[in-house]
Amino acid sequence: MAVEFNQQKLESVLERRQNAYLPFSLHIFPSVASTNRTLWELIDQGAGAGCVVIATQQTAGRGQWGRQWVSPVGGLYVSVAITPKLAANASYQLTLASAWGIADQLRQVGVNVGIKWPNDLVLEGGKLGGILTETKINQGKISQAVVGVGINWANPVPETGINLASWQADLVDQPISCLETLTSKVLLGIESGMACLFQEGISILLSRYSELLVNMGDRVQVNDLSGIVVGVTPQGNLRLSLETDGITDIKTSELSLEPGTISLGYRKSLGIL
């Protein structure tokens, strides 16, 4: 069944924000093949930074590494256009910024969201949502980017997932009262994440991102090596502190893993390359 979306209600929330960083322009659909794909089409027609596509169902959603993102009715699927001045190899900074910003916005109202490296939002160990950033490159720089976000609101989820409506159903004071409130938190989160990245810098952003990273301190096995998660690089790589037993001493070094080369799983399961 269709989920009604009150655009006026959402716009009224966004209009009240101060120090707006992105000029949001909303395009709301009951269902699309992919919010990212629809937004790219709007960009081709002249849409600029801050253009937003929102849907409560995707019929051909995409996740990281070309995987299918199952997007049933009742979820929240949002894509936002960004025109960053970043080098092509720094595209993951947009994902890190969005993940931190959204998690921070939800935590401010009592939803204790964490980040699972590199691009997932987790709640009580289950996957609440994910982020897919796509870019167009021109002369070694990102000329256009689309940040796509999927959040489980009232849709069915797999065993490793969690949806927000069910999580807060038994709470007396529900932190997220409706789909429009959730959407505002996502949009404000992307906006605050971008403001942090471009106004305060990647070092500050990484510090804030790492504070919410649920994998920090986890022990990870990579082939025949064992390491402890100690952070994330500006390129989005996972930093592991490796400990190797020598004959006369213990030598400590660091290993950097690119996104997609290791799966950390959920509920603190061990990642294997």
pLDDT in tens, the chain (273 residues): 456 788 999 999 899 888 889 999 999 998 898 999 999 999 999 999 999 999 988 886 665 545 555 567 888 999 999 999 899 999 999 999 999 999 999 999 999 999 999 999 999 999 999 999 999 999 999 999 999 999 999 999 988 999 999 999 989 999 999 999 999 999 999 999 999 999 999 999 999 999 999 999 988 888 778 889 999 999 899 999 986 654 333 446 888 888 877 777 665 333 332
Strands (E), the chain: 25-29, 51-55, 76-82, 114-116, 120-123, 126-138, 141-151, 219-222, 225-232, 238-245, 250-257
| Spatial contact of 240 and 255, defined as CB atoms under 8 Å apart | yes
CATH homologous superfamily of 7-211: Bira Bifunctional Protein; Domain 2 (3.30.930.10)
Domain ranges, ordered by start, for the chain: 7-211, 216-273
Contacts with 184 (C-beta within 8 Å, 6 or more apart), sequence order = 10, 13, 14
Cα–Cα separations (whole angstroms), residue 96 to 90, 185, 227, 245 = 10, 16, 22, 34
- 154: closest CA among 53, 266, 72? 72
- The per-residue pLDDT for 65 is 44
How many angstroms separate the CA atoms of 137 and 185, rounded? 29
Q: Taking the alpha carbons of 38, 44, 47, 48 in that order, is the dihedral positive or negative?
A: positive
- The per-residue pLDDT for 272 is 32
Scanning the chain, the segments in alpha helix (DSSP H) are 7-15, 35-44, 92-108, 164-167, 179-195, 202-211
How many angstroms separate the CA atoms of 267 and 273, rounded? 18
How many angstroms separate the CA atoms of 236 and 202, rounded? 11
- The per-residue pLDDT for 264 is 73
Phi, then psi, of 107 in degrees rounded to 5: -65, -30
Which amino acid type is present at position 40?
Answer: W
| Spatial contact of 163 and 152, defined as CB atoms under 8 Å apart | yes
